[in-house]
C-alpha cells in the first residue's frame, strides 16, 4: 500500500505537468480545465437529493462504514487500543488518497485527452468507466509506460483484494461461530458465492448490472445501515458509554461537541437525506424511468440477486438469533 500511495503521488505530478496534449487541434482540452470542472462549485446541485445521497454513500463506502468491516477490525482490538487516533489517521490518509490524489488524476487526464463533453459522456456510462479509460493514457506518456501501467493496475488489484478479504471476514466468522463451520468450509462457501456474483457482473457489465448493484448496495443501503448503527450506538448502547469507549486509551481527546453531533445531528442528517431522496427520486429510480430500455431486464436481474442475498442473510441471522436465545434461556434455567 505505501508503494501504491507513492505511485499515485508520482502520477499526480505527471498529470499536473501534462498541460495541453494537443494544443493545435484542441487548445481547450487541458488539465486545468479538468481541475476547474472538479473544483468550481455548482451550487444548484445542492438541491438534488441524489447528490447528497451519493456523497453520504461514498464516504461510508470508502471508510468501510455500514458494511460490517469495522466490526471485523474491532474484534482484533485490545480494550485500550487508541480508537480516536487510529480513526483520525485512517480518515486523514484515506481522504488524502481519495480527494487529493484521486481527484487530481482520472478526470483531469480524461478532459485533457477527450475534452469535457466526452469525459462527461464516459462518466455517465458507469461509475467505473472513467478511471479505466483515462488511466492508461497517462502511461503512454511515460518511459516504460507499459510496465508502469501493469504495476499500477496490479497494485490496485492488491488494494481491492485486501479490502475484499476484510469485507468477507465478518460473514466467514458468522458461519464459523453460529453454524459451526470450519474456516476452510466457510471461506469456500463465500468464495463460491462471490465468484458467481462477480461473473454475473462481468458478463452483464455493459447492461448496467454493476451500476445497479453499486447504487443499492454501495450507496443507498450503506446510508440505511449507517443510520441504524448510529442509532444503536448513540441511543440504545448509550452515547455516554460509547463516548467512554472511544476515549479509552486515546492519546488525543475528541472534542465534546462531537458527542452531540453523533447523537443528534448525524441521525437527523441521514433521515433528512432519505426523506428528501424519497420525495425527489424514489419513484423514477425504482421504476428505472431514465434507464435505456435494453438495460432494464439486466438491472432487474441485479436487484433480484441482491434481494436473494439479503433474504438468505436475514434468515441465517434469524436462525442464529433464535439458537442463541434458546441457549441463553437453557443456561439461565440450568443455573436456577
pLDDT at 274: 94
pLDDT at 125: 67
**Which residues of the chain, if any, have pLDDT below 50?**
none
* Cβ 83 vs Cβ 242: under 8 Å: no
Q: What is the pTM of this model?
A: 0.84
Query: How far apart are alpha carbons 47 and 45 in whole angstroms?
Result: 5
pLDDT digits (tens, 9 = 90+) for 276-316: 999 999 999 999 998 999 999 999 999 999 999 999 999 99
* Cβ 97 vs Cβ 8: under 8 Å: yes
Phi/psi of residue 19, nearest 5 degrees? 70, -130
Give me the residue label for grid cell 436481474.
301
pLDDT at 126: 61
pLDDT digits (tens, 9 = 90+) for 213-255: 989 988 899 999 999 999 999 999 999 998 988 888 888 888 8
DSSP 92-145: HHHHIIIIIIGGGTHHHHHHHHHHHHHHHHHHHT-TTHHHHHHHHHHHTTSTTH
pLDDT at 118: 87
pLDDT at 220: 93
- Spell out a b/e string for 19-40, using b for 16 or more CB atoms within 10 Å of the CB, else e: eebeeeeeeebbbebbbebeee
pLDDT at 283: 92
* Cβ 16 vs Cβ 104: under 8 Å: yes
pLDDT at 23: 86
pLDDT at 306: 94
Amino acid at each position: 500500500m505505501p508503494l501504491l500511495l507513492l505511485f499515485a503521488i508520482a502520477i499526480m505530478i505527471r498529470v499536473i505537468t501534462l498541460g495541453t496534449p494537443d494544443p493545435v487541434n484542441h487548445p481547450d482540452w487541458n488539465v486545468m480545465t479538468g481541475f476547474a470542472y472538479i473544483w468550481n462549485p455548482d451550487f444548484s446541485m445542492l438541491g438534488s437529493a441524489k447528490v447528497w445521497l451519493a456523497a453520504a454513500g461514498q464516504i461510508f463506502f470508502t471508510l468501510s462504514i455500514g458494511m460490517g468491516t469495522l466490526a471485523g477490525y474491532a474484534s482484533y482490538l485490545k480494550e485500550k487500543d487508541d480508537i480516536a487516533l487510529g480513526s483520525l489517521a485512517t480518515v486523514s490518509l484515506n481522504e488524502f488518497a481519495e480527494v487529493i490524489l484521486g481527484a487530481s488524476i482520472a478526470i483531469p487526464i480524461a478532459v485533457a485527452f477527450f475534452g469535457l463533453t466526452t469525459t462527461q459522456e464516459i462518466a455517465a456510462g458507469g461509475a467505473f468507466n472513467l478511471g479505466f479509460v483515462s488511466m492508461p493514457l497517462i502511461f503512454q506518456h511515460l518511459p516504460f509506460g507499459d510496465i508502469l501501467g501493469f504495476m499500477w493496475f496490479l497494485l490496485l488489484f492488491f488494494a481491492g483484494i485486501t479490502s475484499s478479504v476484510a469485507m468477507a471476514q465478518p460473514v466467514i466468522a458468522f458461519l464459523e461461530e453460529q453454524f459451526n463451520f470450519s474456516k476452510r468450509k466457510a471461506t469456500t462457501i463465500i468464495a463460491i458465492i462471490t465468484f458467481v456474483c462477480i461473473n454475473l457482473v462481468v458478463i452483464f457489465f455493459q447492461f448496467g448490472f454493476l451500476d445497479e448493484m453499486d447504487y443499492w448496495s454501495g450507496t443507498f443501503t450503506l446510508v440505511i445501515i449507517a443510520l441504524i448503527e448510529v442509532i444503536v450506538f448513540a441511543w440504545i448502547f448509550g452515547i455516554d458509554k460509547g463516548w467512554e469507549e472511544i476515549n479509552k486509551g486515546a492519546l488525543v481527546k475528541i472534542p465534546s461537541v462531537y458527542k452531540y453531533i453523533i447523537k443528534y445531528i448525524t441521525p437527523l442528517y441521514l433521515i433528512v437525506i432519505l426523506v428528501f431522496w424519497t420525495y425527489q427520486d424514489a419513484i423514477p429510480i425504482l421504476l428505472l424511468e431514465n434507464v435505456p430500455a435494453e438495460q432494464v431486464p439486466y438491472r432487474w436481474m441485479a436487484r433480484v440477486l441482491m434481494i436473494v442475498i439479503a433474504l438468505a442473510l436475514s434468515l441465517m441471522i434469524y436462525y442464529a438469533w433464535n439458537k442463541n436465545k434458546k441457549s441463553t434461556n437453557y443456561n439461565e434455567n440450568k443455573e436456577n
